[in-house]
Amino acid sequence: MSRKIQVMVAEDQAMVLGALAALLETEPDIQVSARASNGREALKQIAKSLPDVLITDIEMPEMTGLTLAAEVRERYPQLHVIILTTFARPGYLRRALDAGAKGYLLKDRPAAELAEAVRRVHRGLRVVDPELAAEAWSSGADPLTDRERQILWRAGEGRTSSEIAAELHLSEGTVRNYLSEAISKLGAANRVEAARIARAKGWL
């Protein structure tokens, strides 16, 4: 019998994590070899279990799925990543692909599609919802730089410029300049509106 595809699932909701693992385990050629509830834990588990495919949510505590995908690309280039999320946002898809993900699926898709996606990315293929892909490439590129994104995300969470400056080891003036640039790029009236726009596009 050929070796089963070794899969790791990273998901912060315990019930969803258990359900995904149980569904995949019903497939004769797939084995869930590791589970994690956040991105940092996932990286530790990957080093131990060395899976073939990683299925990860986007929004998780400590490290997001997008950051995790980028880390995996750097440390474990042989590991194929599938983003499994509720977010049908073009910006998230573009960022996921930029981070090296080979698949991007929505959680409301049939379970059989996830198993088939695991097989396809394991063969080196890419699996992306075609309608979402078309929308992503027609919606325009993310105008924010990484630093603008970091600062705008914190501003959207309610942090003040001084708090952001202390956290990122920048001056308050530098933080205000980045925020001003981000607000201008997004055509927003203020930092709150800019964060809302960026989130809706999947840029935060």
pLDDT digits (tens, 9 = 90+) for 71-118: 999 999 999 999 998 877 777 888 888 899 999 998 888 888 899 999
CATH architecture, domain defined by 146-201: Orthogonal Bundle (1.10)
Contact 198, 204 (CB under 8 A): yes
Question: Given this model, what pLDDT does residue 134 score?
Answer: 57
Q: Where in the chain is the domain with CATH 1.10.10.10?
A: 146-201
Question: Given this model, what pLDDT does residue 87 score?
Answer: 77
CA-CA-CA-CA torsion sign (171, 176, 182, 184): negative
pLDDT > 90? residue 1: no
**Which numeric CATH code is attached to 5-138?**
3.40.50.2300
pLDDT > 80? residue 131: no
Give the predicted TM-score (pTM) of the model: 0.69
18-44 confidence digits (pLDDT tens): 999 999 999 999 999 999 999 999 999
